[in-house]
């Protein structure tokens, strides 16, 4: 009996050591893998948000320029703001609510015609490819706007787009992103930047004093993503993520995984402990001894002292084993060979 108990105690000690070591190793490995996976998923989420916004802004710019490209000014020689030319410009502005004004200039950067009376006050240099300038304001009462410029034949078209329309294309619902910047890598300059507070859905336009300053070749801050615009050369969108928000999202999933692992580990431990108890139980040893025919009977008569007669027998089933265990089974009927 003592030997069985000692074996069971030894098995429990071995189980505790193996279970503790393996559980600790597995927990560390799974937590590290989960952390790396969470970081990768957050990085991919930022890339997805950046791609979504650049595509949205590219589509916005393309839609505006498609309206401009349809103006029938190719092959015409415009030296002054004729009624026909002005009607082309007004018709384009009227049919596209995203356009606030149009100006046509010659190669000498002189205004030929415009739907805006003060267009000559905000003249930007001519560019060979589609470019973006701004923000600009004609007066304190006017809202800030950007200028999309494109060359069409011998002329340059300036398209005036209100700043808030561009801001609408930059907003995202991603919870970890708190700042977005429209960046000109050729000039190392931020043209537009919007920011929101943590846990807020309201985006605010930053002033130039709040713009992030860094060069195109410098290391970008941690938790930030750059994505190039296809419609504008040398222009990028830069997304800044909140490190605390990313860590909270990552740790939330990791804690759940850790709790599930700990519960599963304890469940396995108690199952194994139960199996060990069954394996080293007296019941199992008795069954095993019966199968191996290691019992032999010893009969002991039972006498009635008053009548001085044998009234039964006690059968002792001796367990032939070095452990000297015995099991007593009492029979209700007297064996016939005792008569």
37-53: pLDDT as tens digits: 887 887 888 888 889 99
Based on the fold, state whether residues 45 and 186 are members of the same structural domain. yes
The predicted structure's pLDDT at residue 44: 84
With DSSP H G I counted as helix, E B as strand and the rest as coil, what are the percentages for the chain, rounded to 5?
Answer: 45, 25, 30
pLDDT at 145 over 90: yes
In eight-state DSSP terms, residue 293 is: T
- Indicate whether 217 belongs to any domain: yes
Which of 99-103, 106-110, 239-243 has the highest average model confidence (pLDDT)? 99-103
Based on the fold, state whether residues 189 and 56 are members of the same structural domain. yes
Based on the fold, state whether residues 307 and 177 are members of the same structural domain. no
- Indicate whether 255 belongs to any domain: no
Based on the fold, state whether residues 23 and 103 are members of the same structural domain. no
- Indicate whether 337 belongs to any domain: no
The pTM of this model reads 0.68
Q: Which of 47-51, 320-324, 328-332 has the lowest mean pLDDT?
A: 328-332
The predicted structure's pLDDT at residue 4: 64
pLDDT at 295 over 60: yes
* Segment 191-203 mean pLDDT: 86
When pLDDT is cut at 50, 70 and 90, the band that residue 325 belongs to is: very low
The predicted structure's pLDDT at residue 166: 94
The predicted structure's pLDDT at residue 218: 52
Domain's final residue, options 119, 146, 166? 166
The predicted structure's pLDDT at residue 159: 94
The predicted structure's pLDDT at residue 330: 43
pLDDT at 232 over 90: yes
- Indicate whether 285 belongs to any domain: no
Comparison of pLDDT for 322 and 203, the residue scoring more: 203
Domain's final residue, options 148, 166, 184? 166
- Indicate whether 282 belongs to any domain: no
The predicted structure's pLDDT at residue 115: 92
The predicted structure's pLDDT at residue 215: 56
Based on the fold, state whether residues 179 and 134 are members of the same structural domain. no
Domain's final residue, options 213, 229, 245? 245
The predicted structure's pLDDT at residue 15: 86
- Convert the pLDDT of each residue in 124-139 to its tens digit: 888 878 999 989 888 8
Based on the fold, state whether residues 188 and 219 are members of the same structural domain. yes
Q: Is residue 140 classed as helix, strand or coil in its secondary structure?
A: coil
Q: What CATH number is associated with residue 78?
A: 3.30.450.20
Average pLDDT of the chain to the nearest whole number: 82
Burial annotation 294-326 (CB, 10 A radius, 16+ → b, else e): ebeeeeeeeeeeeeeeeebbeebeebeeeeebe
Based on the fold, state whether residues 114 and 191 are members of the same structural domain. no
Pairing of strands 235-241, 177-184: antiparallel
The Cα 47–Cα 98 span in angstroms is 27
pLDDT at 329 over 60: no
- Indicate whether 58 belongs to any domain: yes
∠ Cα 239 241 247 (to 5°): 160
Burial annotation 168-201 (CB, 10 A radius, 16+ → b, else e): ebbbbebbbbbbbbbbbbeeeebbbbbebeeeee
Q: Nearest-CA neighbor of 104 among 114, 94, 96, 92?
A: 114
Q: Which of 29-38, 53-62, 203-212, 328-337 has the lowest mean pLDDT?
A: 328-337
Domain hosting residue 319, numbered range = 292-329
Based on the fold, state whether residues 201 and 138 are members of the same structural domain. no
Based on the fold, state whether residues 81 and 140 are members of the same structural domain. yes
Based on the fold, state whether residues 157 and 199 are members of the same structural domain. no
Comparison of pLDDT for 294 and 263, the residue scoring more: 263
pLDDT at 328 over 50: no
Q: Distances from the Cα of 241 to the Cαs of 45, 121, 200, 264, in angstroms?
A: 11, 39, 14, 35
* Segment 203-210 mean pLDDT: 88
Based on the fold, state whether residues 13 and 142 are members of the same structural domain. no
Q: Which of 52-66, 84-98, 111-125, 165-179 has the lowest mean pLDDT?
A: 111-125
Based on the fold, state whether residues 156 and 103 are members of the same structural domain. yes
- Indicate whether 266 belongs to any domain: no
Comparison of pLDDT for 327 and 5, the residue scoring more: 5
Q: Nearest-CA neighbor of 145 among 194, 96, 192, 189?
A: 192
- Indicate whether 275 belongs to any domain: no
**What number of other Cβ atoms are within 10 A of residue 220's Cβ?**
13
For the chain, how many structural domains are there in total? 3
> Which residues, including other chains, have CB under 8 Å from residue 147's CB and lie 6 or more apart?
122, 124, 132, 133, 134, 136, 158, 159, 160, 161
């Amino acid at each position: 009996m003592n030997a069985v108990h000692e074996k069971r105690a030894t098995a429990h000690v071995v189980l505790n050591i193996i279970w503790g070591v393996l559980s600790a190793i597995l927990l560390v490995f799974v937590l590290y893998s989960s952390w790396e996976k969470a970081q990768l998923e957050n990085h991919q989420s930022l890339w997805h948000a950046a791609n979504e916004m650049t595509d949205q802004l590219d589509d916005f710019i393309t839609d505006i320029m498609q309206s401009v490209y349809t103006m029938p000014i190719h092959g015409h020689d415009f030296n002054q703001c004729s009624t026909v030319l002005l009607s082309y410009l007004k018709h384009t502005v009227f049919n596209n609510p995203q356009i606030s004004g149009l100006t046509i200039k010659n190669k000498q950067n002189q205004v030929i015609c415009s739907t805006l009376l003060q267009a000559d006050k905000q003249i930007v240099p001519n560019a060979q490819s589609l470019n973006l300038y701004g923000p600009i304001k004609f007066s304190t009462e006017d809202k800030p706007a950007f200028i999309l410029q494109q060359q069409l034949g011998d002329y340059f078209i300036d398209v005036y787009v209100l700043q808030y329309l561009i801001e609408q294309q930059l907003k995202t619902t991603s919870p970890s992103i708190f700042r977005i910047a429209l960046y000109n890598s050729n000039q190392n300059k931020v043209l537009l930047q919007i920011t929101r507070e943590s846990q807020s859905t309201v985006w605010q336009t930053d002033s130039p004093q709040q713009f992030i300053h860094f060069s195109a070749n410098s290391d970008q801050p941690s938790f930030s993503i750059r994505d190039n615009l296809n419609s504008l050369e040398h222009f990028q969108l830069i997304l800044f993520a909140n490190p605390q928000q990313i860590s909270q999202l990552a740790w939330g999933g990791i804690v759940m995984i850790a709790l599930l692992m700990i519960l599963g580990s304890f469940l396995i431990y108690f199952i194994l402990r139960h199996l060990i108890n069954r394996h080293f139980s007296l019941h199992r040893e008795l069954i095993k001894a019966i199968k191996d025919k290691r019992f032999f009977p010893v009969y002991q008569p039972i006498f009635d002292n008053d009548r001085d007669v044998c009234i039964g027998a006690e059968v002792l089933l001796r367990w032939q084993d070095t452990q000297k265990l015995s099991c007593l089974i009492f029979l209700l009927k007297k064996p016939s060979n005792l008569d």
